[in-house]
Structure 1
């Protein structure tokens, strides 16, 4: 029988409530949260008295599962509606396919604006907040040119980010701003008009932070991983050696995304980070042809929603095929294969193995069974 915890009838709760409750479990990586859902079922995890003793969860984590703050989660949903945003949960068809590939994908994202952009090909443009005049002009120009084939993604920050958004808008293109606050506020405050312009021109604002959450230093690296995770590649226009833009670039490398960098004068301190990236193997960019040639299979003559939806579907099928050919899959047999055996065969760290097994299971290529995993016959 369902447990009506916190005196709130389970029948009043929605799937969004349960995903928000999963998100609210403290200090637990996303892949572990998803593993809990696979083991117990999303609704069952929060509405039945499941045995959590062997899960390795802390007392605070078990408490968050046994006694969710349903009232507070309902307020999050209500506040999202007030700021005209939509909550997109992990199993929602609108949830970006590429974002599920990253190590620690958000359990839910808050989106305001044109959510159809989530299914289109995206290129991120990032760089210094204290960019030079030349750097700003380059970001503006390249963003405008890239909108013919891609949605331009950036972080709504001062400097290069702002010029990336403006360049896309001024050329009639689409842009996504990934922010480090709730969608009911604007940071920095001077970008309130830019934020409004993005929405009014069929762009999109997204965040993993609920309404009411103010900016904190720790939010920006989390935002940066989403900027790169959403995108096929990241273009760094100007960045010092100690900048958030290099964090985004590192996230892109960890996520197997393409990294591009614009060179500059050796005397430009704001370009030192770009030069370092190029030395590390990032592709030097002089014009958008240097980027387009890396994505010839998805480049279109113009960014049309219906045509690019087809491209996005093709990309998803390509991702599925790539997963089917993933060497990790060869480590799982058609008989029950324990996780430790998968680790031994793949020679990968256990956290990486668990993450990739979760992705493979979401794509229907393996199944979690008692004792380990089982490869599914897709032939």
Structure 2
């Protein structure tokens, strides 16, 4: 984890007018991932007139008060700046166009490494649509998937609440700064998500809601998730943007069919005509996502191999023979154990532990339970 001075450098670059995640990532690549060297390089570009006047002025004399306010926000419990140079930055985001350089997280950032399903749909969804969102989200949450959505009214809120009530994890990707909740009526829901899941934003603290922020939020929802389920959507729905972005990332897109007389079914019907999977029950989604979850676990294991001993994707027998898996199983015992307890017992980092648990769960050796607890199956 970076120290305060390194975090200040990140904040300085993230607040540089007009720099953006793509250019910041290019700077980091040019200097081998050293954020301080990236800042020096940005200042050279600014002095040479390659950045805007406002960027040059900011880099010459950053607003210390604003940076200090950001640091104070980050100093609060369960607040984090997750940078693309961190070993536990979600690797699935690297496969998407224009990935963020950093994410502000409130809650459990380890959830971003677990298999996620995006559940999205209309803000003005009807009772039937909300019920379907709740049913699918709750069932898939009980199967161990993290439910990811955008904290909007309608389908998003129904999916988040269902995951919470099922005792599972849920991730809300928002289009404001991490200290602002939009819509305001979801302040209570956001608080519950922060306690049991995670709130994620690429926007800096203090950023208010603007129309252009929500398509950018949607690309992160699509990028984090193995697949996107669209429950109800009109032909001009932002959910269709999320579905398109998911398809562009090579992710699965699922759509629930509806009545031809329901305007909010037309977006789903268009997606189905364009190649999305028509789904009628939870098992269709679960079965198609298990191989993808295995692949994600193997990729995470490879990324973390220098951080801690991590098991690669394998059949249950091989998982049991792997020393790291065997040690973790011994620590689990036969009673449900929380993730925090396992972290204390094993001494593993959150990402390494999440990778091991994911492999064991996919191999059917352990099961996840409400409240973020795990237990041996046999």
Task: Give the structure-2-normalised TM-score.
Answer: 0.72
Provide the rounded CA distance (Å) in 2 between the counterparts of 1:50 and 1:134. Answer: 55
Q: What is the CA deviation profile of residues 64-116 of structure 1, one whole-angstrom value per residue up to 9, with x for unaligned ones? A: 44443344222212123348521112212231111222222222211111111
Shift of 1:272: 0.7
Q: 1:227-246 residue pairs with structure 2 within 5 A? A: 227-246=221-240
- Give the structure 2 partner of residue 226 of structure 1: 220
Q: In the superposition, relative to structure 1, how do residues 146 and 315 fare at CA in structure 2: closer, same or farther (>3 Å)?
A: farther
Q: Which residue of 2 aligns with 1:158?
A: 153
Is it true that 1:14 corresponds to 2:10 in the alignment? no
- Distance in 2 between the 1:90 and 1:14 partners? 17
Deviation at 1:149, TM superposition (A): 2.8
Q: Is 1:127 aligned to residue 121 of structure 2? A: yes
| Cα 1:198–1:311 shift into 2, 3 Å | farther
* Correspondences of 1:180-199 after superposition (within 5 Å): 180-199=175-194
Correspondent of 1:168 among 157, 160, 163: 163
Q: CA separation of 1:234/1:55 partners in 2, compared to 1, >3 Å: closer, same or farther? A: farther
Alignment correspondent of 1:85: 79
- Is the contact made by 1:76 and 1:211 (CA closer than 8 Å) also made in structure 2? yes
Tell whether the 8 Å contact from 1:160 to 1:238 is kept in structure 2 after alignment. yes
Aligned to 1:141: 135
Quote the Cα distance in structure 2 between the aligned partners of 1:295 and 1:48: 42
For this pair of structures, how many residues does the alignment match?
298
Asked if 1:316 is matched to 2:300, the reply is yes
Note closer, same or farther for the CA distance 1:80–1:317 as it changes in structure 2 (3 Å cut): closer
**Deviation at 1:260?**
0.9
**1:135 Cα shift?**
0.6
**Cα RMSD, aligned residues only:** 2.6
1:197-346 → structure 2 map (5 Å cutoff) = 197-200=192-195, 202-297=196-291, 313-316=297-300
- Structure 2 distance, partners of 1:296, 1:45, is 39
1:62 shift after superposition:
4.2
- Normalising by structure 1, what TM-score? 0.72
Unaligned runs of 5+ residues in structure 2 are 305-378
Which residue in the other structure is 1:42 paired with?
35
Write the distance in 1 (CA, Å) between the matches of 2:50 and 2:140.
47
Distance, in Å, in 2 between the alignment partners of 1:288 and 1:105 is 30
Structure 1 position 293, deviation (Å): 2.4
Equivalent-residue separation in structure 2 for 1:84 and 1:292 (angstroms): 30
1-structure distance, mates of 2:204, 2:189 = 21
Residues 197-240 of structure 1: CA deviation (Å, up to 9, x unaligned): 2233x211111122222211111111111111111111100000
